[in-house]
Structure 1
């Protein structure tokens, strides 16, 4: 196999998106479109990846980082002009170059490899990735000769009536002999309706010079979807979600309603986990085996171990160990770390806190900037008061403690092991081991108070 290079076209502003965000950075299944393209180029084992960006596209470079080299297309003068910007990086190299649009997030590494293999087996100078479209509107048409060989590719705006009726379309992905590509780019003109330098013109030039021009047709046209507006973006998300959910189900995950389940590309899920409808799994979330993720839960960038149950709750940048259960309607904010068999009940908020094994926080409680040991019971309505108006402070509650309902723990404070705190207490001082802390005024009953009150 020859060396393989990828040129990713990501310089277009995407005016039809009507967005302040650069087009190729619009997300599909939680990842920018150009990220999907580069992922697949990497999986296809490209030796070099060069991304063509436009002026003001620094965020594309920031996102991709060192995964790609970059060249800048200062003026938007067409796809051939864009590829020409990579001349300094690639023109003198032997090998095969794939040109891929940065707004085609559904292309797979398998397709890229099949395209390159087809190209090299046919000893072609150029190979175009095509697809059959019942409605080819908006796409360039692939024009074949009597023998079936590719003669040229015609953009819709330049197509004759007969050419416009052709249903085999150009997907915008190509494979070239690298040296032939850059030699031919010098010969491309801009005598067309747009006044641009079209990459498909390279096909016709190579054909006229006697080079072999081939085509590889996709079985699944959905892969070729190019995203130019919000309608196409929604369709790309739909297709990608279906693809992701299908893969998880084949791997042993039970998804009750795949159409209503939203799992982003980098999420990993273990076998025998059950996911109910309207669940959103985002970022680099990792979920173990035998878990239950209940309806309307949202989990982002978190690590969930085995046998965990999450019911209608939100989990962000947190870790949950084996056998714990969360919810319904609780919120683990970033930095929450739950050990084995922790119980977090109804309407509990945890933030930047470590919760020890077998500790139970049943309901209506806030735990922020705290360290809780093992076998602790936290009563209803408890508040870890961590903010003094300027700084955050930490509270520590050690093993086997019992925190009564409606307790306020004013941080910084430490509650030692085997302690009890009476319900309704406001704790401002450390509590020693094995003590009972009571911090509330004694009850006073005012006799005959009712008769002194004014009545309507």
Structure 2
């Protein structure tokens, strides 16, 4: 392979078109901000563009300008935000972007144009586009695909003899014969900057839509003797856009299929891929097992030999090696090595479970640190609390952390044993090795090693049922017991 074959192909600029209103989404949220796999569509587009390591990156915006611009700035503070004016069309959008880039320093080299609503497009395919463009010294290189149903797309017009690209005809302007063509324009291009700049000066709005078509640049470049070529992808999903909720869901499902398949090939066992959803931002180790009905979102990470599911939804949860999480809804939690969570557990932000610990059935936790080996086995609430190591919290325990105005903390030491239905009225501290009796209401600090009992002695009122509920089912049962 020659040195030219191995050189990096870094374009002078990438222009991302993100100005559309997306009215078919029927949403107040701009179309390009709708998420797929935990990332906005424009976020996917920017990631693919950034992977090219371009010298400069510009994003053209218009609809809900401030919201979109703020989102883009959060993703890439170096991106140049360019406002599209009232002249419609992709040609005009690229023209204002190129003018804005030129205002800083004239662009010289390859300019890539892509869209903010093509979320499955990869850096690898863009790299192939740029490499072909520069290696073949093209004036314009267009990314195309062959579809069974090409309705709505611009058609690629080729020379009948040698197959070279002659131009692109937009669907609404195409003849019946041209609409039979199945090779479509993705709208993604690599241009020579000078060719693009010069051609845009001659693009008009003289068409059925009254817009400046970027596609007209191909014919203008060819008329000036420039070489126009195409890179045909066999992966149509990479050039599919989402214009409505149906297309968004379809792309989301395909994106998830690819993510799930990728993790399986990387050594993760996913028992039922069809019911497993994993964001593109999630990180999994080898030998992780994901059981059916599991959703992993955000910055969730799962370490080796951990088991998640079935029926668990986790957002921004960190799971250490060998932990098990069953039928759990969690966000912003940390689960230690070898720990067990679930079933039917609600982990709220700030939950930190130590190694070999347990949060069991029907438990809710929030802003609580639980030490190594400690167990909250079933039916309770722990919030705004700190629990030491090797402590056992009994069934039905509650940290009463809210006084109606402010939240308060409960501190429970190591080696503590609490009886069923203990209530800790915060702020309160329980020392190491202390015990609480069943039904205790702990309002004051408990010294280390102490036993706390706060329930009054039991008193039995004999004959109460018959005297107070005569003729009732309980009274008859009591009478039968007395007479037996």
* TM-score category, normalised to shorter length: over 0.9
Count of residues in Structure 1 that have an aligned counterpart in Structure 2: 456
Of 164, 176, 179, 1:149 maps to 164
Q: CA deviation at 1:67?
A: 5.0
Of 98, 115, 119, 2:133 maps to 119
Where in structure 2 are the equivalents of 1:258-297 lying within 5 Å? 258-297=273-312
Deviations 1:125-167 (A, max 9, x none): 1110000111111100000113211111000000011111111
Is the Cα–Cα contact under 8 Å of residues 55 and 73 in structure 1 kept in the other structure? no
Q: Secondary structure at the match of 1:215?
A: strand
Aligned to 2:479: none
Q: Secondary structure at the match of 2:184?
A: strand
Q: Secondary structure at the match of 1:86?
A: helix
Aligned to 2:176: 161
Q: CA deviation at 1:2?
A: 5.5
Aligned to 2:88: 77
Deviations 1:178-226 (A, max 9, x none): 2221221111001111100011011111111111111100021111101
Aligned to 1:136: 150
Aligned to 1:94: 108
Deviations 1:33-89 (A, max 9, x none): 000011111122222211111142222222222152210114360101111121333
Aligned to 2:202: 187
Is the Cα–Cα contact under 8 Å of residues 3 and 94 in structure 1 kept in the other structure? no
Of 345, 369, 372, 2:360 maps to 345
Is the Cα–Cα contact under 8 Å of residues 2 and 95 in structure 1 kept in the other structure? no
Aligned-partner Cα distance in 1 for 2:32–2:86: 17
Aligned to 1:357: 372
Structure 1: segments with no counterpart, 5+ residues: none
Aligned-partner Cα distance in 2 for 1:19–1:87: 30
Structure 2: segments with no counterpart, 5+ residues: 1-8, 472-484
Aligned-partner Cα distance in 2 for 1:130–1:313: 44
Is the Cα–Cα contact under 8 Å of residues 51 and 68 in structure 1 kept in the other structure? yes
Where in structure 2 are the equivalents of 1:222-301 lying within 5 Å? 222-301=237-316
Aligned-partner Cα distance in 2 for 1:245–1:86: 37
| TM-score, reference length from structure 1 | 0.98
2:22 pairs with 1:8: no
Aligned-partner Cα distance in 2 for 1:226–1:448: 77
Is the Cα–Cα contact under 8 Å of residues 360 and 378 in structure 1 kept in the other structure? yes
Q: Secondary structure at the match of 1:206?
A: helix
Deviations 1:405-435 (A, max 9, x none): 1000000000010100111000000000110
2:50 pairs with 1:36: no
Aligned to 1:26: 34
2:173 pairs with 1:173: no
Q: Secondary structure at the match of 2:432?
A: coil
Q: Which moved more, 1:79-88 or 1:283-292?
A: 79-88
2:65 pairs with 1:57: yes
Query: CA separation of 1:2/1:275 partners in 2, compared to 1, >3 Å: closer, same or farther?
Result: closer
Query: CA separation of 1:94/1:423 partners in 2, compared to 1, >3 Å: closer, same or farther?
Result: same
Of 427, 433, 437, 1:412 maps to 427
Aligned-partner Cα distance in 2 for 1:290–1:58: 45
Q: Which moved more, 1:146-155 or 1:42-51?
A: 42-51
Structure of larger gyration radius:
2
Q: Secondary structure at the match of 2:130?
A: helix
Aligned-partner Cα distance in 1 for 2:317–2:336: 11
Aligned to 1:403: 418
2:391 pairs with 1:383: no
Is the Cα–Cα contact under 8 Å of residues 10 and 55 in structure 2 kept in the other structure? no
Where in structure 2 are the equivalents of 1:429-440 lying within 5 Å? 429-440=444-455
2:327 pairs with 1:312: yes
Aligned-partner Cα distance in 2 for 1:30–1:154: 35
Deviations 1:350-372 (A, max 9, x none): 10000000000110010000000
Is the Cα–Cα contact under 8 Å of residues 143 and 230 in structure 2 kept in the other structure? yes
Aligned-partner Cα distance in 2 for 1:256–1:415: 44
Q: Secondary structure at the match of 1:116?
A: helix
Q: Which moved more, 1:441-450 or 1:334-343?
A: 441-450
